[in-house]
Amino acid sequence: MIDYSQIESYSKCDCGAITIYFRNGASNSMKESTRKKLGIDLHKISKLQPSYCCNHCVNHWGIDICECGSGLPAGECICGSDKAVETFGEKFDSFSKILKNFC
């Protein structure tokens, strides 16, 4: 179940992705289709100005993107992983993720 009291705001990117910002400092990006599948209703959430380069399209981070960094959807990537880069509502540790890919 989604705790809407923890969602602070959201923005839409020109690429079509939605980024949700949480009160704990976390932010998660996802395709609009993923948001709909998860049943996340943003009607009562504060909408920020549109962006033109988000982590989803620039860094390939998101709750629906493969953890390997390919930019392909989790579970559909050629690497075989079904895990996503980000976890919904949790702060993403980009430094650890980058370090993991080089070790």
User: Is pLDDT at 97 greater than 90 in this prediction?
Assistant: no
pLDDT tens digits, residue range 48-75? Answer: 999 999 999 999 999 999 988 889 999 9
The confidence score (pLDDT) of residue 99 equals: 52
Per-residue confidence (pLDDT) for residue 68, from 0 to 100:
87
What digits encode the pLDDT tens for the residues 71-94? 999 999 999 999 999 999 988 776
Domain residue spans of the chain: 4-102
Please give the backbone phi and psi of residue 76, each rounded to the nearest 5 degrees, phi first.
-120, 5
**pLDDT for the residue 102:** 56
